[in-house]
Amino acid sequence: PAAHAADAGDSSRSGPSYSAVLVDDVTHVVTAPARWDGDDWKTVGWSTAAVLGTALVIDRPWRDEMRRHAPNNNPAIMQVERFGAQYAPVVVGGFLAVGALGGDDNTLETGTDMLTASLIASGIVTPTIKLLAGRARPRYNMGANYFKPFSSANASFPSGHTTEAFVLASVISEHYESPWVGYTAYGLAGMVGLARTYHDAHFASDVLAGAMIGTVVGKSVVHY
């Protein structure tokens, strides 16, 4: 009986499979608008206004300012930019490995939440909006207002690199409440967004939208 009790305890501690947790998190995030109240919709309205305002007022002059600094092959900025792409899986894998090998539940949960939030934000939300918007990248020189929905060639809005960087920053900041952790994580994520405009890959509004998506999804996954 004692052995059976121990087995039952181990089973209860193991919890549901990751695939079940992922499906549950995806469902929670995707259906979130159905649960929003008046304050939530106000926040969405102000956020949308901020993105539109940035697009109308800041996109063109910011792009012109970035062009003044061409050629855009600064090695440090190129390395920072990779935290929104190539380095992101390394960061996630590092947290998962250290948490699992060291028996650190918080570190392991941070890695798991980063993986889940990345799959949702960078794998579902941002690509879907990119396809629906079809905004041309600034480097194509077609203007800030060129949109061709359902065009895979036009994928400027929102920024995928920035989405991923802010997913990592928001999840890490929620798990480690030290202000310095938050400043460092969000500061680095902001540099990723800056790098994308520096490399003429995105307008400022693309970066702002990506930052919002990454932050909202990351926090939502952690809290849920």
Q: Of 173, 183, 158, which is closest to residue 114 (Cα–Cα)?
A: 173
Q: What is the pLDDT of residue 14?
A: 64
Q: What is the pLDDT of residue 97?
A: 97
Q: What is the pLDDT of residue 12?
A: 47
The residue ranges of the chain whose pLDDT is under 70 are: 1-14, 70-72
Q: Is residue 110 classed exposed, middle or buried when 0-12, 13-18 and 19+ CB atoms within 10 A define those classes? A: buried
Instruction: Provide the whole-model pTM.
Output: 0.90
Q: What is the pLDDT of residue 175?
A: 97
Q: What is the pLDDT of residue 121?
A: 97
* Region class of 141: left (phi > 0), else alpha (psi between -120 and 50), else beta: left
Contact criterion met (CB below 8 Å) for 211 and 197: no
